Amino acid sequence: MTILINNSSGQPLYEQIEEQVKNQILSGELKEGDALPSMRVLAKDLKISIITTKRAYEDLERDGYIVSVTGKGSFVRGLSEEYVRNNIRFAIEELFDAAIDKATVGNVSDDELKEMLVIMIKEKRK
């Protein structure tokens, strides 16, 4: 598991950890049953407070991405394909929402926005 922290991003550290772990689970990089580093080890590796890693792990467990077993550690929970697809769709909707807000501020028409999306899809999927 690779976690990179950006202290100047403005995003809380625990959210950065959560987001990266979620992305690694949803992409299949982390699989069901994979052990996560202990909160203490992760905190030491990232040179951050154990309270920060504890918050990230608690949130990941609450959201159903990991399961913690007392005395054994935290492990990736098995996610159904439907759960993964719904999470990815939700993330895409959030990005579209932000893009629509920017397009509205920049007075970009719906047709221009659609054209931009079609071009980007073609470029990325080559």
Residue 7 lies in a domain: no
Average pLDDT in the 5-12 region?
91
Q: Are residues 100 and 64 in the same domain?
A: no
Q: Are residues 17 and 72 in the same domain?
A: yes
Selection from 4, 76, 67 nearest residue 35 by Cα: 76
Q: Are strands 66-69 and 73-76 parallel, antiparallel or unpaired?
A: antiparallel
The better pLDDT of the pair 82, 30 is held by 30
pLDDT band of residue 86 (cuts 50, 70, 90) is: confident
Q: In CATH, what number is assigned to the domain containing residue 58?
A: 1.10.10.10
Q: Are residues 27 and 57 in the same domain?
A: yes
Please list, residue by residue across 9-39, b when 16 or more beta carbons sit within 10 angstroms of its beta carbon and e when fewer do. eeeebbebbbebbbebbbeeebeeeeebbeb
Q: Give CA–CA dist 112/65, Å, rounded.
A: 38
Q: Which helix (H) or strand (E) holds 74?
A: strand 73-76
- Domain of residue 55, residue span: 13-76
Q: What is the pLDDT of residues 70-80, one digit of tens each?
A: 999 999 998 77
pLDDT exceeds 80 at position 20: yes
Q: What is the CA radius of gyration of the chain?
A: 18
Residue 86 lies in a domain: yes
The better pLDDT of the pair 13, 82 is held by 13
Q: Are residues 17 and 69 in the same domain?
A: yes
User: What average pLDDT is seen over the chain?
Assistant: 92
Q: Are residues 23 and 69 in the same domain?
A: yes
Structure tokens at 15: 């959210």
pLDDT of residue 114: 93
Q: What is the pLDDT of residues 37-63, one digit of tens each?
A: 999 999 999 999 999 999 999 999 998
Cα end-to-end distance, the chain, whole Å: 29
Residue 3 lies in a domain: no
Q: Are residues 59 and 105 in the same domain?
A: no
Q: Are residues 18 and 72 in the same domain?
A: yes
Q: Are residues 57 and 30 in the same domain?
A: yes
Q: Are residues 63 and 93 in the same domain?
A: no
